[in-house]
């Protein structure tokens, strides 16, 4: 019995070594981490990632994630809510986001399409993303699609409703509103993960300035550095705060408003339902680091798209 075991072990040994060398060439990280335990833990990670891909493939009409709320690790799950709508740059935006989010541990992407049904583009994109996700949709009524009207109100509210219906007191999580046209550093997610109630941090390239930020004194938010509508109760962009999942669940009526909503007031109107300025938790070195940018994407020039005689094949962009 023992000898069979040893024979098999020695047959397998060279193959294990080859795998280790290949992984090493791939990562170019030999000089930093070259212990056997490192390779074994990497193999573990690969298996974990595959599992995530499989869970996301089983889809239903409202959600494509079959994951339960139970955490594989003790880290709180980051629920990023992304409203999105069909336009020439949509897939490029989602690609940039997915490339970032894939590197964030314990991450759950809630993508809410501004559409009457799941589009093929987004469904296919999410299925191939390798991320744990939930795919929802709700169409913004035409009367709200005007300049000066807040965007994505219905989509964010639908995502909050999903969390309230599918998560409970036993789930540890942090909820963040991640618009599809921003740029997110990985460090941002580790900052927000420790949010106890509501946390805040600076946002770059917003409010007509290089950045906006909460002003902090002795660990408390005492005001706002902003160039735009300084009288907002919470002078902060949607990308500048995160909320503990339990705060979302214990304030079931906290929603984004349509009635009486004024431009730029969505964040304040929402935040004042769940917190006070003095209770905010400053992150990113007392709000002195920019870890997220309100980049926005240039309107794409399609001036030379042929009206007739288009390409002979359909190509998704």
Which residues are identified as catalytic? 267
State the binding partner of 145 from Mn ion, ligand UGA, none, CB within 5 to 8 A by kind: ligand UGA
Choose among ligand UGA, Mn ion, none what residue 191 binds, the Cβ cut-off being 5 to 8 Å by kind: none
Residue 281 contact partner, candidates Mn ion, ligand UGA, none, CB within 5 to 8 A by sort of partner: none
Among 53, 63, 161, 181, binds Mn ion (CB under 5 A): 181
296 is in an annotated binding site: yes
Beta strands 173-177 and 220-225, pairing class: unpaired
Report whether 295 belongs to an annotated binding site: yes
Whole-angstrom distance, CA of residue 257 vs CA of residue 150: 9
Calpha distance 114→27 (Å, rounded): 39
User: Encoding tokens for residue 30?
Assistant: 């030999």
Tell whether residue 79 is among the known ligand binding residues: no
- In the sheet where 292-293 sits, what is the strand order? 183-184, 292-293, 203-206, 209-217, 220-225
Provide the sign of the torsion angle of the four alpha carbons 137, 143, 146, 151, taken in this order.
Answer: negative
Of 52 and 97, the one with the shorter C-beta distance to ligand UGA is: 97
Min dist CB 297 to Mn ion, Å, is 8
Minimum CB separation from Mn ion for residue 140, in Å? 15
For residue 248, give every residue at least 6 positions away whose Cβ sits within 8 Å of its Cβ, in sequence order, or none: 160, 163, 164, 175, 254, 274
If the CB atoms of residues 44 and 263 are measured against ligand UGA, the closer one turns out to be: 263
Counting contacts by CB under 5 A, is residue 114 touching Mn ion? Answer: no
Determine, following the binding rule CB under 5 A, whether residue 179 of this chain makes contact with Mn ion: yes
- Beta-carbon-side half-sphere exposure of residue 19 (alpha carbons within 13 Å): 10
CA distance linking residue 35 with residue 27, whole number of Å: 14
Q: Which residues from 264-293 bind Mn ion, rule CB under 5 A?
A: none
Per CB under 5 A, which region of 15-23, 48-56, 174-182, 273-281 contacts Mn ion?
Answer: 174-182
Which of the ranges 139-147, 171-179, 196-204, 308-316 carries the binding residues for Mn ion, by CB under 5 A?
171-179
Nearer Cβ to ligand UGA (81/277): 81
Task: Tell which residue, 93, 136, 130, has the closest CA to residue 118.
Answer: 136
Q: What is the number of helices (H) and of strands (E) in the chain? A: 9, 12
> Toward Mn ion, which CB reaches closer, 114 or 181?
181
The residues of the shown chain that bind Mn ion, judged by CB under 5 A, are 179, 181
Annotated binding residues, written as ranges, equal: 83-85, 114, 151, 156, 179-181, 294-296
């Amino acid at each position: 019995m023992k000898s069979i075991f040893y024979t098999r072990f020695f047959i397998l040994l060279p193959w294990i070594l080859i795998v280790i060398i290949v992984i090493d060439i791939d990562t170019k990280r030999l000089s930093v981490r070259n212990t056997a335990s490192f390779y074994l833990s990497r193999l573990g990670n690969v298996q974990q990632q595959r599992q995530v891909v499989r869970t996301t493939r089983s889809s239903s009409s409202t959600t494509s994630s079959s994951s339960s709320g139970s955490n594989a690790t003790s880290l709180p799950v980051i629920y990023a809510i992304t409203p999105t709508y069909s336009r020439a740059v949509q897939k490029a935006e989602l690609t940039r986001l997915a490339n970032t989010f894939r590197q964030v541990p314990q991450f759950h992407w809630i993508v809410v399409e501004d559409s009457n049904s799941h589009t093929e583009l987004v469904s296919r994109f999410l299925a191939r993303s390798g991320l744990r996700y939930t795919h929802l949709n709700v169409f913004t009524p035409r009367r709200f699609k005007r300049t000066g009207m807040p965007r994505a109100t219905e989509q964010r509210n639908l995502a909050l409703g999903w969390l309230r219906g599918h998560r409970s007191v036993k789930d540890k999580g942090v909820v963040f509103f991640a618009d599809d046209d921003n740029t997110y550093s990985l460090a941002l997610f580790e900052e927000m993960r420790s949010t106890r109630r509501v946390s805040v941090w600076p946002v770059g390239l917003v409010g007509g300035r290089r950045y906006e930020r909460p002003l902090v004194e002795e660990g408390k938010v005492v005001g706002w550095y902003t160039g735009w509508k300084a009288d907002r109760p919470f002078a902060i962009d949607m990308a500048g705060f995160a909320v503990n999942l339990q705060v979302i669940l214990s304030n079931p009526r906290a929603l984004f408003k349509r009635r009486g909503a004024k431009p730029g007031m969505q964040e304040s109107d929402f935040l004042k339902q769940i917190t006070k300025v003095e209770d905010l938790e400053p992150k990113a070195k007392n709000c002195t680091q920019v870890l997220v940018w309100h980049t926005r994407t240039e309107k794409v020039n399609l001036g030379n798209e042929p009206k007739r005689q288009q390409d002979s094949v359909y190509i998704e962009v």
